[in-house]
Amino acid sequence: MAITLNNGFQMPVMGLGVWRMEKHLVRDLIINAIKIGYRHFDCAADYKNEAEVGEALAEAFKSGLVKREELFITTKLWNSDHGHVLGACKDSLKKLQLDYLDLYLVHFPVAVKHTGVGNTSSELAEDGVLDIDTTISLETTWHAMEDLVSNGLVRSIGISNYDIFLTRDCLAYSKVKPAVNQIETHPYFQRESLVKFCQKHGICVTAHTPLGGAAANHEWFGTVSCLEDPVLQGLAKKHGKSAAQIALRWGIQRKTVVIPKTSKPERLEENFQVFDFELAKEDMDLINGIDRKYRTNQPAKFWGIDLYA
């Protein structure tokens, strides 16, 4: 099951996110995911495991498990490389052992102090606040992203963690329109206005943190997951599914792409089993009613500044 992007390319609606995936686990998780049926993998330079993902992909191609053209591979430009887009993209391609990317995203709408291509840091200034580079505009970054498309290194380009205003600006100055906006969205953080705005203007929304962060964001940020919510628990019982499967199915039915992350083999398979049932309108309405406008991913904890404020 796939969504057609505004440039005609197909993007599978279910993907596997590799954030916080430990390096020694990557190979088995990627290979097993492909065997289960995953054809979409969401990476980022900042996840610091592109090389391990690349080794797993190379093995999958060499063994004949899957062909390159059957996979959709995403990675992202880190904040410290906004002034070095071409070099950063080539560095990611080298680590991933790929000739092209299906999708390359601007990870966050902020440029910070450059510390060397591939060295994805978030250096703090003397005041303890993220060392933001005010000399590089998002428009400049975007035009460098567009050059990647014309040079054949990337098929689609997009944005990540952009709000309505920044998305609107990108649409205004872009020659190549963003194909995707990857944002945090889940039953406790539905962001209906942003989702509808993007979809109205032909931008596919990818939901990172589609399960509300679960254990990962609780551990890092002290936030709570939506999976314990009585509504999701009740619908899980009704459909004979898990609360996670209900949340993922809800995301798919609102026409977003979902990229849950897991390092547990049993969860890997469970998360993919969301195409054999459908939520009724009343089910969707129940979930729509539990929005808390609650962000679970909070990088401000590390950056000394809330970029979402």
SS (H, E, C) 1-25: CEEECCCCCEEECECEECCCCCHHH
Active site residue: 47, 104, 162, 188, which one?
47
**What secondary structure does DSSP assign to the chain, as a single string?**
-EEE-TTS-EEESB-EE-TT--HHHHHHHHHHHHHHT--EEE--GGGT-HHHHHHHHHHHHHTTSS-GGG-EEEEEE-GGGTT-HHHHHHHHHHHHT-S-EEEEEESSS--B----TT-----B-TTSSB-B-TTS-HHHHHHHHHHHHHTTSEEEEEEES--HHHHHHHHHH-SS--SEEEEE-BTTB--HHHHHHHHHTT-EEEEESTTTTHHHHHHHH----GGG-HHHHHHHHHHTS-HHHHHHHHHHHTT-EE--B---HHHHHHHH--SS----HHHHHHHHTT--------THHHHSS-TT-
Cα–Cα dist 239/62, whole Å:
40
Q: CB–CB of 81/133 below 8 Å?
A: no
Is residue 47 annotated as a catalytic residue, yes or no?
yes
Q: Which tokens in the block code for residue 71?
A: 């996979």
What is the phi/psi pair of residue 206, to 5°? -105, 130
Identity (one letter) of the amino acid at 252? I
Active site members: 47
